Amino acid sequence: MKQGVFMDMLFRNFKYFLRETFSNLIRNRLMTVASITSVMAAMLILGLFLILVLNVNTMANQVESQLELKAFLNDNLTKEQIDRIGSNIKSLEGVASVTFESKEQALENFKKQLGDKSYLLEGLEKDNPLPQSYIVKVKNANMMKDISHKIKQINGVDKVSYGQDVVEKLLGIIKIIRVVGLSIILILFVISIVIISNTIKLGVYARRKEISIMKYIGATDWFIRWPFLIEGIILGLLGALISVTILALIYDYAANLINSRLIVFELLPVDKIVGDITLYFSVIGAIIGALGSGISIKRFLNV
Say what angle helices 144-152 and 164-206 make with each other, to 10 degrees: 160
Phi/psi at 134 (5° precision): -110, 130
pLDDT for 1 equals: 44
User: What is the C-alpha separation between 33 and 11, in angstroms, rounded?
Assistant: 29
pLDDT for 224 equals: 74
What CATH number was assigned to the domain covering residues 68-161?
Answer: 3.30.70.3040
Other residues' Cβ atoms within 10 Å of the Cβ of residue 157: 19
Q: Where in the chain is the domain with CATH 3.30.70.3040?
A: 68-161
Would you say the C-alpha torsion 60, 65, 66, 67 has a positive or negative sign?
positive
297 and 204 Cβ atoms separated by less than 8 Å:
yes
pLDDT for 173 equals: 78
pLDDT for 118 equals: 56
156 and 136 Cβ atoms separated by less than 8 Å:
no
Burial of 113 (0-12, 13-18, 19+ CB in 10 A): exposed
Q: What 3 state SS string does the chain have?
A: CHHHHHHHHHHHHHHHHHHHHHHHHHHCHHHHHHHHHHHHHHHHHHHHHHHHHHHHHHHHHHHHHHCEEEEEECCCCCHHHHHHHHHHHHCCCCEEEEEEECHHHHHHHHHHHHHHHHHHHCCCCCCCCCCCEEEEEECCHHHHHHHHHHHHCCCCEEEEECCHHHHHHHHHHHHHHHHHHHHHHHHHHHHHHHHHHHHHHHHHHHCHHHHHHHHHCCCCHHHHHHHHHHHHHHHHHHHHHHHHHHHHHHHHHHHHHHHCCCCCCCCCCHHHHHHHHHHHHHHHHHHHHHHHHHHHHHHHHCC
Instruction: Compute mean pLDDT per 10 residues along the chain, 303 residues long, and list them.
Output: 58 70 73 78 81 79 76 86 90 88 74 60 62 85 84 89 70 77 77 69 71 76 78 82 88 82 71 81 79 73 61
pLDDT for 259 equals: 76
